[in-house]
A and B are shown apart, each in its own frame.
Chain A
Amino acid sequence: MKGLLLKDFYVAAGTCWPYLLVLIFFGAIVAFGGASPFIILVGAYLMSMASMNVLATDERAKWHIFADTLPVTRVQVVAAKYILTLILAAFSAAVLALSGFIRTVNPALAGEGYTFAEALSALSVLPLTASFASLCMPFIFRLGFEKGRIAFVVLCVMAGMGCGIISSLSGDDFPAINIPANITLIILAVSAAVFAASWAASTALYKTREF
């Protein structure tokens, strides 16, 4: 398991650094440019997509077949990808929290009425992005990335539409996110349930897949 995670880390480091740069860039805009944390959610979403990028890289290399010859189980192969998704989402959350914190203490942005609590509330959307990203993973684990990416495309279209709706409702390109605590809890619970269900489905589907 540790070996699988290490491999995913190496692959993510080698192939997903553009996502990281975008995330840090957006984080800097929030922290120093005064933009709303909404913008960083795009970066966070990209990070959660990075685990799918690793899946695609694996498939191109036929790692999934090679891994089957090693003393690891398919349950572990699936688990490594979900853990990677969580790690990347947590990393995004850390960048977001740091950006929010810097913003609140940034003298240049004093008086803009943006609070640290607001920045933190945006964090609750991160589990949602992780679970949202995990929605297409069962398709990929069952059908492979080539076919499973249809789910990925649908997901991206839905995310784009969601962002568009939020922007149009707020009348701002990058609206502020201020989610009440009770809604945050619901989002967290739903996200965790979706993520867990996705994990279980991927495991069940991948166990019986034949290459």
Chain B
Amino acid sequence: MMTNAVEIKNLTKKYKDFTLDDITLNLPSGCIMGLIGENGAGKSTTLKLILNMISRDGGEIKLFGKDNRESIKLAKEDIGVVPDEIGIPVSLNAKQVGKIMANIFKNWDEKVYSNYLEKLAVPEKKKFQALSRGMKMKLGIAIAMSHDPKLLILDEPTSGLDPVVRDEVVDMFNDFTRDENHSILISSHIVSDLEKLCDYIAFLHKGKLMLCEEKDRLKEEYRIVRGSKEDISDIPESAVIGKKVTPYGVEAIVHKNAVPSGAEAGAVDIEQLFVFMVRKEG
């Protein structure tokens, strides 16, 4: 039976000017889920709630089947986190960080950590303040993956990395999920990375979950149709996910069953789907 690494049900968090509203999603073990959303959509808030870094106003969160508030310290032994900013004090170097983490994580593996540092070309003795943003992120990834975690929670882990390293890191994450007990929840603006990596995609917009679906199913279910205004007007409004009007015509993302015969329809990518949905919602 497939178990869930993360289960979120009706999760709500209210701030003065923002509400994360009634989020429900499940991340099955062995899978990678990408959280996509514009700045301020609620991605980081969701991740913080999962880690119990902030208190929720309603709903449930389960990590490995247990309420995250009851056993968060234990659960964090099995979670590797790469936050958007790696909060290592500037005077420390990677070697010292390794010694600190060895005394924090029960399953810390010094050898694995050294291997990651070597693989990612992170200097052991250079102070954190002297590292580039990309290098800091790589150190964060090495920290997150060196204690045999079952779940990785990654907040914009590939931002600041050059395309070659980004590709390597994406491969590392893919390798990580070869073990069916390993899962990843990742938020990123770089939708192309998520498209390469993820099994599931969740769209957040203004604190609401617009959809949470298997990536392949999304790509299978929708088509992008190009044509004149008249061509598109034949499509029932309920089947249109979003559209973009330009002086040259109209592009619309529609359910594949609603594509008019003879229309110019192509495969949709996740970025297009997200942008069109957000535009429709306003």
A residues with a Cβ closer than 8 A to B are 2-4, 6-7, 10-11, 14-15, 57-58, 60-73, 208, 210-211
Taking the nearest CB of chain A, how far is it from the CB of B205, in angstroms? Answer: 23
The count of chain B contact residues (Cβ–Cβ below 8 Å) is 31
Confirm or deny: B100 has a beta carbon within 8 angstroms of a beta carbon on chain A: yes
Assuming the A-B contacts A10-B100, A210-B55, are A71 and B88 also in contact, with contact meaning beta carbons closer than 8 angstroms in the complex?
A: no
Confirm or deny: B83 has a beta carbon within 8 angstroms of a beta carbon on chain A: yes
The answer to whether A210 and B85 have CB atoms under 8 Å apart is no
Taking the nearest CB of chain A, how far is it from the CB of B152, in angstroms? Answer: 11
Taking the nearest CB of chain B, how far is it from the CB of A154, in angstroms? Answer: 26
Contacts of A71 in B (CB 8 A): 73-74, 76-77, 104-106
A65 to B47, CA, bound (A): 12
CB-CB nearest 7 A-B residue pairs: A66-B87, A14-B91, A3-B103, A3-B104, A69-B81, A62-B87, A71-B76
Taking the nearest CB of chain B, how far is it from the CB of A27, in angstroms? Answer: 25
Flag B47-88 by CB within 8 Å of A: 1 or 0 each. 010010111000000000000000001101101010101111
Which one of B86, B89, B103, B128 lies within 8 Å of A2 (CB-CB)?
A: B103
Task: From A57, A63, A66, A73, name the one whose CB has the most chain B CB atoms within 10 angstroms.
Answer: A66
Confirm or deny: B250 has a beta carbon within 8 angstroms of a beta carbon on chain A: no
Consensus secondary structure, chain B interface? loop
| Nearest opposing residue in chain A for B15, CB measure | A210
Q: How many A-B residue pairs have CB under 8 A?
A: 82
Using a CB-CB cutoff of 8 Å, which residues 28-45 of chain B contact chain A? none
Consensus secondary structure, chain A interface? helix
Contacts of A210 in B (CB 8 A): 53-55
Task: From B89, B101, B103, name the one whose CB has the most chain A CB atoms within 10 angstroms.
Answer: B89
The answer to whether A3 and B100 have CB atoms under 8 Å apart is yes
The answer to whether A66 and B88 have CB atoms under 8 Å apart is yes
The answer to whether B87 and A64 have CB atoms under 8 Å apart is yes
The answer to whether A70 and B76 have CB atoms under 8 Å apart is yes
Contacts of A6 in B (CB 8 A): 99-100, 103
A6 to B97, CA, bound (A): 10
Contacts of B51 in A (CB 8 A): 68-69
Confirm or deny: B192 has a beta carbon within 8 angstroms of a beta carbon on chain A: no
Assuming the A-B contacts A70-B104, A211-B54, are A60 and B73 also in contact, with contact meaning beta carbons closer than 8 angstroms in the complex?
A: no
A198 to B91, CA, bound (A): 28
Assuming the A-B contacts A10-B91, A211-B53, are A62 and B100 also in contact, with contact meaning beta carbons closer than 8 angstroms in the complex?
A: no
A-B contact pairs, 29 of them (CB 8 A): A3-B100, A6-B100, A6-B103, A7-B92, A10-B91, A10-B96, A10-B100, A15-B91, A57-B89, A57-B90, A58-B89, A64-B87, A65-B83, A66-B86, A66-B88, A67-B87, A68-B51, A69-B51, A69-B53, A69-B79, A69-B153, A70-B81, A70-B104, A71-B74, A71-B77, A73-B73, A210-B55, A211-B48, A211-B54
Which one of A15, A61, A69, A208 lies within 8 Å of B88 (CB-CB)?
A: A61
Assuming the A-B contacts A70-B76, A70-B104, A210-B54, are A14 and B83 also in contact, with contact meaning beta carbons closer than 8 angstroms in the complex?
A: no
The answer to whether B104 and A66 have CB atoms under 8 Å apart is no
Contacts of A10 in B (CB 8 A): 89, 91-92, 96, 100
Confirm or deny: B131 has a beta carbon within 8 angstroms of a beta carbon on chain A: no
Identify 7 new A-B residue pairs, CB closer than 8 A, beyond the known A58-B89, A70-B81: A3-B104, A4-B104, A6-B103, A14-B92, A65-B87, A66-B86, A67-B87
